[in-house]
Amino acid sequence: MARFISRRLFHLIFILIGVSVLVFLMVRLIPGDPAHLLVGEFASPEDVSRIREKLGLDQSYPYQYYIYVKNLLKGDMGRSIRSNVPVSQEIFVRFLATVELSIAAMIISSCIGILAGVISSARQFSTFDYVSMVMALVGISMPIFWLGLMLMYLFSVKLGLLPLMGRFTMGLDYHSMTGLVLLDGLLTGDFQLFLNALKHLVLPAFTLSTIPMAIIARMTRSSMLEVLSKDYIRTARAKGLSQGAVIFKHALKNAFLPIITVIGLNFGLLLGGAVLTETIFSWPGLGRYVVDSLMARDYPAVQGCILFFSVIMVMVNLVVDILYFYLDPRLRIDGKG
């Protein structure tokens, strides 16, 4: 186990160095001079060169990279050109909004996806199986930015059941404790805030959950079908166990490995999807921030966000790998050998 984790950690460090080099180079390839942006259009050439010197942009690329990594290791991602606030601070605040949205989407997609997949496999070739797999294909094919807009029109504009956008109603008395509004509402016993935040969360979370939900449903179904054809399931049935016990105790437990992998790997999809969902629903998360920063050519912010997104993705992949290794005893034996 330790050998496996250390090997994966070495791989992770290598990937992170590669990602940092790539992000560093790509940001420098974006047209436009950051110094110019910082001092404004009408600044004198002297001012521009002073800022270039201050930012270290007059140095060679290897030296600039060295400074960049040195600062990064201290948690310093530079300052946002727009707000002059440290990028790490901006990222942290927005990241919590994205976490809240992603977790909600992950819960919705896992619950509905696994349930649909299990029922489909237990009733293979039934109407439910057929309909749920068609729905899964529809879910994978649907542009989430379109789905989001249509849901917004139906539930917010037409029916008036849910709020149009944002994280909670402006003007509501909210003091952040954890940065997760729902959790803060629960912790402080402020149910008005909790309900308000929940209503705001429903549409973006559901929109974001559709693609992972479809993928999880398909994977659960195929994984369950494979397990259900095994001899030990026949034995369990022959013992007279109920259908529920066979499905949930024996089959689902053994079909869980690929499902967990898919749930973990879908995290990348959620992060990518958050860029679009947050833009549609004006959700103040990291996805929307990165798009806004790019539009405003706020390079330190873009650089910080993309690096942060990649680190999260790589870490999630590592956790999935370790979990997989932990859950599958065969891998543990192979890993030792």
84, 127, 141, 229: residue in contact with another protein (rule CB under 8 A)? 141
The 10 Å CB-count burial string (b at 16+, else e) for 108-131 is: bbbebbbebbbbbbbeeeeeebee
Count the residues in the chain. Answer: 337
Separation between Cα atoms, residue 35 and residue 52, nearest integer Å: 6
1, 26, 172, 177: residue in contact with another protein (rule CB under 8 A)? 26
For position 150 contacting another protein by CB under 8 A, the verdict is yes
Site stretch for another protein (CB under 8 A), options 29-37, 48-56, 186-194, 255-263 = 29-37
Q: How far is the CB of 244 from another protein (least distance, A)?
A: 27
Query: Beta-carbon neighbour count of residue 26 at 10 Å?
Result: 12
279, 323, 324, 335: residue in contact with another protein (rule CB under 8 A)? 279
Instruction: Give whole-number Cα distances, 58 to 33, 35, 40, 232, 303, in Å.
Output: 12, 10, 18, 69, 19
Instruction: Evaluate whether 27 touches 302 at the Cβ level (below 8 Å).
Output: yes
Query: Beta-carbon neighbour count of residue 324 at 10 Å?
Result: 15
For position 152 contacting another protein by CB under 8 A, the verdict is yes
Q: What are phi and psi of 79, to 5 degrees?
A: -115, 145
Is residue 255 packed enough to be buried (19+ CB in 10 Å), middle (13-18) or exposed (0-12)?
Answer: buried
5, 15, 57, 233: residue in contact with another protein (rule CB under 8 A)? 15
Residue list 199-238, contact with another protein (CB under 8 A):
222
Separation between Cα atoms, residue 311 and residue 77, nearest integer Å: 14
For position 291 contacting another protein by CB under 8 A, the verdict is yes
Site stretch for another protein (CB under 8 A), options 36-44, 107-115, 234-242, 290-298 = 290-298
For position 131 contacting another protein by CB under 8 A, the verdict is no
Site stretch for another protein (CB under 8 A), options 106-114, 143-151, 168-176, 325-333 = 143-151
What is the separation of C-alpha 65 from the centre of its chain, rounded to a whole number of angstroms? 28
Instruction: Evaluate whether 114 touches 220 at the Cβ level (below 8 Å).
Output: yes
The smaller minimum CB distance to another protein, of residues 50 and 297, is found at 297
Q: How far is the CB of 137 from another protein (least distance, A)?
A: 6
The smaller minimum CB distance to another protein, of residues 146 and 191, is found at 146
Give the count of alpha carbons within 13 A of 221, CB side only: 24
Site stretch for another protein (CB under 8 A), options 71-79, 89-97, 115-123, 139-147 = 139-147
Residue list 255-274, contact with another protein (CB under 8 A):
268-269, 271-273
Instruction: Evaluate whether 187 touches 179 at the Cβ level (below 8 Å).
Output: no
Q: How far is the CB of 269 from another protein (least distance, A)?
A: 8
Site residues, another protein (CB under 8 A): 11, 14-15, 18-19, 22, 26, 29-31, 137-138, 140-143, 145-147, 149-150, 152-153, 157, 222, 268-269, 271-273, 275-276, 279-280, 290-291, 294-295, 302, 306, 309-310, 313-314
